[in-house]
Homo-oligomer: A and B are copies of this chain.
Amino acid sequence: MAGSWTPDGFILDLDGTVYAGSRPIDGAAETIGYLRSRGKRVVFLSNRGNISRRMCRERLAAMGIPCEAEDIILTSSVVARYLREHEPDARVWVLGEQGLRDELALHGVRFAVRPQDADRLVVTLHETLTYAELNDAFRAVRAGARIIATNRDKTFPGEDGESIDVGAVLAALEHATGVAADVVVGKPSPAMARAALDRLGLPPERCLIVGDSPGSDIALGKRAGIRTALVLSGSVTREEAEAMAPAERPDWMLDSLADLRRLLEEMER
């Protein structure tokens, strides 16, 4: 499809592509090891905002996928960078977990003491979300805080099946307050593409993004000029993928990350 082109840099989605919950996708570690043995550069790009890079690095290491923290680009760090660069004085209320707070603190973001004192509400997924936390977030926005969200995905492939994601939590807050999130940093936003390409040190046309989400991973590639491979190990089935509009279709379709080696070998043939 892309002639004799082969990628030098790989941008790999995590949930549904490298792992599903705490379980690695079969062959993921071997494939990533193979890419590295061929001198390819690899970064990981996830819309998850409830974990820190340190936590994510430990999880990958336990799956036999060693990497540096800087090879992992999460919305938690991208949202922290956004706030530091664009709104350094904002006092922030967090609807999220310790992983997000750690990343924000690491970047010098200021925290509000009470919801009603916040200039910004940062929203991400967390699987221990409670009504009391949702209500605090609601009160922050009612009192004037604007909403910044790590992503707007509706669902993600969790450990025990497809699970509800940030998009639904945002819908709840937006419905109750009438205020829409004005910044969403996650894929397919250009902020995520830029962070990945910066780390790879490569132009978009020399990279391939591999992910399971048409709306996040494939859309990011289309917008940023990065070629795309959709894996069927996560959010969508082959039937759903084949029903996509031509403009939204990936350049390649793979059953899982384990097939990436074969694809690369075919490209080089």
A residues adjacent to B (C-beta < 8 A): 126-132, 134-135, 138-139, 142, 154-155, 158, 161-165, 167-176
Contacts and interface: CB of A to CB of B under 8 A. Distances in A.
A131 B176 CA distance: 18
A165 B176 contact: yes
B128 A129 contact: no
11 contacts: A128-B130, A130-B131, A131-B164, A139-B161, A139-B162, A164-B176, A168-B175, A169-B172, A171-B171, A171-B174, A171-B176
Given A127-B135, A128-B130, A135-B158, 17 more contacts: A129-B134, A130-B130, A131-B164, A134-B168, A135-B163, A138-B155, A138-B168, A142-B162, A154-B175, A167-B176, A168-B172, A168-B173, A169-B172, A171-B171, A171-B172, A171-B175, A172-B172
Contacts of A167: 175-176
A75 B90 CA distance: 42
A131 B154 CA distance: 14
Contacts of A155: 138, 176
Sort A-B residue pairs by CB-CB distance and give the 4 closest, nearest first.
A171-B175, A129-B131, A168-B172, A168-B176
Given A127-B131, A130-B128, A168-B138, A176 B161 contact: no
A234 to B, nearest CB: 15
Contacts of A158: 135
